[in-house]
Structure 1
Amino acid sequence: MEIKTITKNGLRFYQVGNKFFKSNTSVVGLLDKPAIQDWAIRQTVEWIVKQKQLDKETIAKALRYSKIRLNELGDKGTAKHKAAQKYLLTKEFDSKDKWIKMFIAWKEEVDFKTKPQFIERVIISESLKCAGRVDMLGTVFGEPMLIDIKTSSGIYLGHKIQVCGYKLMSGKQNLKLAILQIPRTGYKRTFHILSQVEEEFCSKIFLCLNKIFDCMLELGELKVDKAILDMV
């Protein structure tokens, strides 16, 4: 089964045959992200200060700067995900990369085991009309677990909602949910396993966001091609 990823106006969809499924990350993306907004403001102000001037051209460049930086960090995060994937599949890694060494240390510490088909696995839910790519499915100390890797500076509500969405889409009730957070610099790591309370409430939030996404799509508030809209 061929699965294509399509991004339109910042919204991601998965195409399977003639059907389109909204992305888990696009659904969670409806949630306000104050931490990112604060970061973007700081980045913009710091950039303006470095320029030592405030003309129209500088302001225009400043408004674009935080988006450019966010894309750069996103690319670095993707590279770290690929490094983890490569290690899990081949045991090969860059010995100079602090991040991947931190990942390997975590894997050994929690006795994480997986199989190739459970790495970067796409999960599709017909009932939720949603799909997503899970970083890792496997076992931690023998217990089935769905794990999402984050290279951000912290673990946020959106991350927890995202993994709960994956579990709802999978239909696997026996899965524990966890977030492995290793910042891009690789100076520390946090392995957070969601509590039952976190999972319960974050699952409810995901279902609400999923419904809101569908309603906004129907109202035309989310700009996507008609061809996609007709097939969602």
Structure 2
Amino acid sequence: MTTTPLRLVIADDHTVVRAGLRALLEGEPDLEVVAEAGSGEEAVQQALGLAPDVVLMDLRFAGPGQNIDGIEAVRRLAAAAPGLPVVMLTSYSGRIDVVRALEAGARGYVLKAGPPEELFRAVRSAAAGGIGLAPEIVGDLVGQVAGLRTDLTQRETDVVRLMSEGHGNRSIAESLFLSEATIKTHLVRIYRKLGVDNRAAAVSEAARRGILDLAP
């Protein structure tokens, strides 16, 4: 049975980087690059016009004609096309950058220096409705927490932990032997307790508070 490849848009201000990413991604049978963008604004235009399955977005765009960064591009996409997954692919791993990206609506954050498997996993997780975070990103978020808090119940923590590993609602339900409806109810409570409104922000906030012990 032939599976339709995931359609990707790559946004990076370096032509050589885009070419390398295209070659890397298209070496996977289930991934297809349908467009490239050299700026945040172009990335928004391409994504809205092509409706890809996932957008790979650089964090910072340099050079003339660059009016917005990757985080602002994510915000614009989140407003114009809710549900379109964006994975940040960047050289910057600072906690502030990660949190800002996830709060803007990004569904993943991976590093250019990381192994290709992390990138592939993040793309597939985001496309499936999950979250794709490089292990060192989660570990860094947890490592910088002061004053650990446990606002969530153990079951709610289990749900957030599985979300951080890229699981969608159905997979979480199967892992915890619960119904999808029950998982959705847990999500409503988790969002309310953490003061967030999406999965990526929930994972980020839980890590910031030290609720998750996910350091690699």
Whichever of the two has the greater Rg, that structure is 1
**Which has a greater percent of strand?**
1
- TM bucket (normalised to shorter chain) is under 0.3
Give the TM-score normalised by structure 2.
Answer: 0.26
